[in-house]
Amino acid sequence: MFEKWFAKKETQENLSEKASFEVVLDRESVCMGDDVMSHKETRSFLENIKISEFIKVLVDYVPKMANSVWLIWGEQEIIGYIDFDASGNAKIEVEGEDAFLAKRFSTAEMPSITCIYYYSGKFSWVDKMVGDTLLEKVKAARREPVNARTL
């Protein structure tokens, strides 16, 4: 198991030898102290990284907040979700086809990915919200097209 993880990490670090592309990552703050410095960073990824593998990388990028959901917004669409349970364990879900990330954003010069933070308090005022779980509530609230600034 550890050998596989180290092999992947080494592959990501040797990007200069393989075809790669850059992605701008950003995320919402989770508390007042968390917004002191920018979270925005640029990372390089192999062109053949699948969206599911990319979201697994984001699990280490976002804070591990119990009972929370991170919506992964890419350019003009939702690409997936990270769902943290009460113990802080992450479950990922890809929205749509689990294609190569570079293929999904082939028109963008440098794709921008934003991680949007949701917790149950954001939905406490909605008594008749569809869905029992926080993830279902996030999905129901985000069915209509929106731009990244209003997420």
| Residue pLDDT, tens place only, 50-98 | 999 999 999 999 999 899 999 999 878 899 999 999 999 999 999 999 9
Q: Which two tokens stand for residue 147?
A: 């731009």
User: What number does CATH give the domain 20-28+38-142?
Assistant: 3.10.20
Exposed e or buried b per residue across 7-37, where buried means at least 16 C-beta atoms within 10 angstroms of its C-beta: eeeeebeebeeeebbebebbbbeeeeeeeee
Taking all residues of the chain, what is their mean pLDDT, rounded to a whole number?
A: 79
Enumerate helices (H) and strands (E) in the chain, giving the number of each: 4, 6
Q: Which residue has the higher pLDDT, 112 or 18?
A: 112
pTM of the model: 0.76
d(CA 84, CA 135): 10
Give yes or no for residue 149 having a pLDDT over 70: no
